[in-house]
Amino acid sequence: MKGMIKQTLRLKKRVVSSLFTLFFLFTAPLVNAAEGDIWQVSVPVGNARALPQTSADLVSQLPKGTSVTEMAREGIWLQVQLADGTMAWMHQVTLSQSIELFGLALDSANRTAMRKAIRSSEVKVVREVDTYPYDLYDPSEWKKGATEMTLGYTLKDQLFAVAEITYRSEKDTEQVRQVAEGVRKELGPWQRVLGRRAEGPVEFEWQRGDLRILVHRGWPDTTTYVVYEVTNRLNEMQAELQPR
């Protein structure tokens, strides 16, 4: 009798697991291929494969900085055309594009250029102080639902390090997913997601070379934050702020 009960429980677990898998497959977000987009290899060696899976045969291995052209997309895999016309598949985490805010590439933007670009937008200046690493803004007329925006720069070279856009809310458990979907339309599928929208902290993460993009919230406050960070520069900025 006990054996039959255990077998029934295992069967129920397999059924639930199968149903969850089917649910995920039919509800996972789809992204239209941005045919013709140019990507660069962002890792020391980028593997180009015959099929969109890590076990597929290698077509080529491309050094960092090599450009490829996107032809199609399947989840987190991109079908790309190499310089010699060869078609292959590459995992999105091995590629990067210039991520922009206010028309400036974040991996090369400096404080002077960013301030100028922001003043040409609908964002209002709250505080800009050259001797302090963070500038503060009101983005409410630029992004629907956004309430505050902070941009940080390295003190020595005044290079962009981090931007945080705040969407304040209370008891809006769907907000974090809605904001993440907006980012997904620009960047494609997220590489990592943690947490449950119904309750608790939630994180959606994208990685584009040295640039990390994060949509997250805490709990019970459902305020959502969108963060763009150049990780090595953020570490540099934080080190500069440490008391000596």
Which pLDDT band holds residue 25 (cuts at 50, 70, 90)? very low
pLDDT at 124 over 90: yes
Of 9-13, 85-89, 232-236, the least confident: 9-13
SS3 43: coil
Residue showing tokens 């020595």: 156
* pLDDT number for residue 187: 79
pLDDT at 226 over 60: yes
Tell which wins on pLDDT, 63 or 37. Answer: 63
Mean pLDDT across the stretch 57-77? 92
* pLDDT number for residue 35: 67
Mean pLDDT across the stretch 204-209? 86
Phi, psi at residue 59, to the nearest 5°? -95, -40
Cis peptide before 29 (omega within 30 of 0): no
Tell me how far apart the alpha carbons of residues 23 and 26 are, in angstroms, rounded to a whole number.
5
* pLDDT number for residue 228: 98
Q: The tokens of 126 are what?
A: 């709250």
Question: Average pLDDT of the chain?
Answer: 86
Mean pLDDT across the stretch 32-60? 87
DSSP-derived secondary structure letter, 133: S
Angle value at C-alpha 157, between 155 and 158, nearest 5 degrees: 60
Q: Domains of the chain (ranges plus CATH)?
A: 38-96 (2.30.30.40), 100-241 (no CATH)
pLDDT at 33 over 60: no
Residue showing tokens 């015959």: 50
Mean pLDDT across the stretch 54-76? 93
Name the residue among 182, 178, 172 with its Cα closest to residue 221. Answer: 172
Dmax (CA) for the chain in angstroms is 76
List strand residue ranges (DSSP E) for the chain, in order: 38-41, 45-49, 58-63, 67-74, 77-81, 87-91, 95-96, 100-101, 104-105, 124-127, 134-138, 148-153, 160-167, 192-196, 199-208, 211-217, 224-230
Percent of the chain residues topping a pLDDT of 90: 66
pLDDT at 57 over 50: yes
Q: Contact at 8 Å (CB) between 219 and 206?
A: no
